[in-house]
Amino acid sequence: MLFITNKYLKPGMILAKDIILYNSSNFNSLLLTKGQVLNNTFINKINYHGIEGAYIESEAFADIEVDSYINDVLKANTLKTVKDVYYELKMSSGKVHATAIKQLSGIVSSLITEIMYKDDLSYNIIDFKNYDNYTYQHCLNVATLSISTGISLGLSEGALHDLGMAGLLHDIGKMMIPLEILNKPGKLTEEEFDIIKEHPVNAVSLLKDLVPYSVLSAIQSHHEKLDGTGYPYGVSGSNIHFYGRVLAVCDVYDALTSDRSYRMTSFPSEVIEYIMGCADTHFDYEILKSFLKVIVAYPIGTFVRLSNKRIAVVVKNNSENIMRPVVRIINGDGTVGVDIDLLYDNNYMNTTITDMAYDYDNSGLEGALKSTYDMKLKL
């Protein structure tokens, strides 16, 4: 299968995976089914819901399989439970109930079980972007990334549970901030940003009698930075709670790879480079090393452009260096070439990935899809 962005989806292509939409009214809505032949109506539906693209069948890449990081039912249950907790808070004038926290605790235990027994901890960002409410999706993503990073760090199951709870609840304090500030498309004033910076403290106030101290400390410190330039208290180094340092990396990564009203999304590779550049100033380097083992810069099935001007498709990631995956070359005539391991193949030590590649008109990518594309047009 290949991942094709919505701009380049065409009638006659066939879906290689279900497209699930997690929206506010239906948390597990099957939008389109695996095996469905795309037409203009279906493509317009994908665009309407803001879905970035779809996995498409291709005979030349039939060996590529991309599994869901978390099963669809658990994902839907998590989103619904988070929404219920946040909604209840808004409707009850600032009170979180113990029963809601107990529900979240059970969800976190299920997430840990799901993630701990995965053969591959490579977090596929594409799998976590089909939802129309940023807040709830962001909470799920940060919890998932935090648990995965904790596993990579070798933390106990109890510690993983605290991280997962902190991830799901880290932004609950924003429910006390006016929407016109949270969703403001332009630059915040200094006064508005001061209000935003209160959300970790708001969260602690809401949750202080409901969750363990370690969870409160993680939430309170998830915007602190190692050099002391963070908020709300400007603490630095080891004075920042360890779980808060984990949350900080996961929170920034997911925020920067998501579309917001005031900022377009960035490619995972660009965000990774930014985060790596902030090691030991904003982020804990040891935590960052473990975090980089569970994410990928270039998701499997996506097109990339190499420094030697060749186009390729990512077929496998190397956890030892996520910036140098195994890629399959696409020849100039659209035929498929050999697989190259950018990390271990000595002949390609100086070859790097320079960009994500979606320029169909000049790349020969149509040829790579030709066998499937032509076959489906005949249906």
* pLDDT tens track for 331-344: 887 788 899 999 99
Among 111-115, 353-357, 362-366, the range with the most confident prediction by mean pLDDT is 111-115
Handedness of CA 272, 273, 276, 282 (dihedral sign): negative
Share of the chain above pLDDT 70, in %: 88
pLDDT digits (tens, 9 = 90+) for 14-24: 999 998 876 65
Rounded Cα distance between 81 and 69, Å, is 19
The rounded radius of gyration (Å) of the Cα atoms in the chain is 21
Question: Collapsing DSSP states into helix, strand and coil, what is residue 353?
Answer: strand
Q: Which domains are seen in the chain, by residue range? A: 2-66+299-377 (3.90.105.10), 72-291 (1.10.3210.10)
* Mean pLDDT, rounded, for 94-103: 88
Neighbours of 55 (CB within 10 A): 21
Confidence of residue 137 (pLDDT cuts 50, 70, 90): confident
- What DSSP designation does 37 have? B
67 vs 211: which has the higher pLDDT? 211
Share of the chain above pLDDT 90, in %: 52
H-assigned helices in the chain: 40-48, 72-91, 98-116, 134-153, 157-169, 179-182, 190-196, 199-207, 213-220, 242-256, 268-277, 285-291, 360-363, 365-377
pLDDT digits (tens, 9 = 90+) for 53-71: 899 998 888 998 888 888 8
